[in-house]
A and B are shown apart, each in its own frame.
Chain A
Amino acid sequence: MSTIAHDPPLFPMERANPLDPPAAYAQLRQEAPLVRVRLWDGSSAWLATRSQDVRAVLVDPRFSADGSVAGFPMISAARRSLLTAGSPQLAQLDPPDHTRLRKALAGEFTFKRIEALRPFVAGTVAQLLEAMVKQGPPLDFVENFALKLPSMVISKLLGVPYEEHEFFEECSRRRVALDVDPHVPVQAGKDMAAYCDRLLRQKERDPDASDDLLSRLARDQILPGHLTHEEGVSLANQLVMAGHETTANMIALGTLSLILCPEELAKLQADPALTASAVEEMLRYHTIVHFSIARIAKEDVEIGGQRIARGEGLFVLITAANRDPGSFTDPDRFDVARKTRNHFAFSFGIHQCLGQALARLEMQEVFAVLFRRLSDLRLAVPFDALSFKHRNMVYGVHQLPVVWGERGAG
């Protein structure tokens, strides 16, 4: 074990290039298995950056994900207020509560159940692209497509009226911001909970009125007493949020990376069978949950030769693990033909993304047709004019102005 003479670096670090993690990650990955970092409030935490350590932490039951435990590492004041107020999210629960709540939903997200949604998703993709063509360029791809598709899909799956998408999208935006007044994300959570409470009460009154996930949750879990109404509200809240925000950002960033790498786009267009691997590569390359996965040690644990004392917190940097040359050849290269599914974009361990099959399916349906339907899709503004979500829980691009079709003279 070496002693670090200099001050621990401040975490999170800033990105130099919007599409690459901060350069410091590569250096930290080489320096030591786990490194000490300083946080906004003067506290400190460990940082796991290597894929083997990230994996080891995420599967180790001696670490807790419970954000309400004193000393749990937080990346901002807003994040701290969100994690310590209101009902805990699935991602912050430990077994056995986590197991019980997750199992109540897992049957809805099996590989086969999600596959059955493919025709609906394909139809929605076609419909949205048709609307873009009708409207004509230039358009903001985020507003007109990347956000619309997952919002429409999750609304249909859950049985949430899509007409109310502006409300839940706006709640989500307030919830993921890091630098806002700490009351903002808490209020967003409350607004969304009040909405889900009303919606779920309707479903509980008449669970057979429509065939959707929340009606089934009411009929099979809440009414028989397996889940309380409040637990159902909390799950509904999380499903709406997680179901659109993350996928929307991935669709926009995936599109951007194909626009910026014409040779990769050409490979994909020449061989549509590469769609699935291209999607996995986008997930690995962008890793949009870019700095917020944290744990606290419930007892002394040794990871990568470093002892972590009971009560010490750590950040599990999946962004760095997904660019670890120990696991991925030439990791900073975006390669649609890369055959790797062992990335951490959906995290790992018991908290791995519940909706991963749905996210994959949506992205696969998008990238199977997008660049065919909108030929010569390209940016309508210089790359430097794009604004990225540096200080958001979920990384992404705020707007993606695009044009397509024939290039005008001059």
Chain B
Amino acid sequence: MRVIVDRTRCIGSGSCAATVPEVFDQDQNDGTVVLLDPSPPSKLHEAVRCAATLCPGCAITVEEG
């Protein structure tokens, strides 16, 4: 799995950081997503997919495989 974030679409809702803190964090100045792990381990894949669905700015893309 490869995770891509689009910081221009991010509105800093923090849904991703709340869902998978191992993979996503937020910039402390403007709340924008900080990608901690672009290739997360398989045990986190389900949670990362969930974070992508929950993202209100549609800023997270997940490439499977």
Chain A residues with CB under 8 Å of chain B are: 58-59, 99, 102-104, 106-107, 109-114, 341-342, 347-350, 352, 354, 356-357
Tell whether B39 is near chain A: CB-to-CB under 8 Å. no
Size band of the interface chain B makes with A? 20 to 34
Contact B30 A357 (CB under 8 A): no
Contact A352 B13 (CB under 8 A): yes
Contact A349 B12 (CB under 8 A): no
Chain B nearest CB from A109 CB (Å) reads 7
- Out of B17, B19, B53, B54, name the residue touching A110 (CB < 8 Å): B17
Chain A nearest CB from B9 CB (Å) reads 9
Tell whether B26 is near chain A: CB-to-CB under 8 Å. yes
Chain B residues with CB under 8 Å of chain A are: 11-14, 17-19, 21, 25-32, 50, 53-54, 56-58
Contact A103 B12 (CB under 8 A): yes
B14 cross-chain contacts in A, Cβ below 8 A:
109-111, 114, 356-357
Contact A109 B54 (CB under 8 A): no
Contact B12 A110 (CB under 8 A): yes
In the bound complex, what is the Cα–Cα distance between A17 and B53 (angstroms)? Answer: 32
In the complex, the chain B residue whose C-beta lies closest to that of A99 is B11
> Known interface pairs A106-B11, A106-B31, A106-B32. Does A111 touch B17 (Cβ–Cβ under 8 Å)?
yes
A110 cross-chain contacts in B, Cβ below 8 A:
12, 14, 17, 26, 28, 31
In the bound complex, what is the Cα–Cα distance between A245 and B12 (angstroms)? Answer: 22
Contact B54 A107 (CB under 8 A): no
In the complex, the chain A residue whose C-beta lies closest to that of B51 is A341
> Known interface pairs A106-B12, A106-B31. Does A350 touch B18 (Cβ–Cβ under 8 Å)?
no
B13 cross-chain contacts in A, Cβ below 8 A:
352, 354, 356
Chain B nearest CB from A7 CB (Å) reads 36
Contact A111 B26 (CB under 8 A): yes
Contact A342 B54 (CB under 8 A): yes
Contact B53 A106 (CB under 8 A): no
In the bound complex, what is the Cα–Cα distance between A99 and B30 (angstroms)? Answer: 10
Contact B18 A102 (CB under 8 A): no
In the bound complex, what is the Cα–Cα distance between A302 and B13 (angstroms)? Answer: 27
Contact A107 B11 (CB under 8 A): no
A357 cross-chain contacts in B, Cβ below 8 A:
14, 18
Contact B53 A112 (CB under 8 A): no
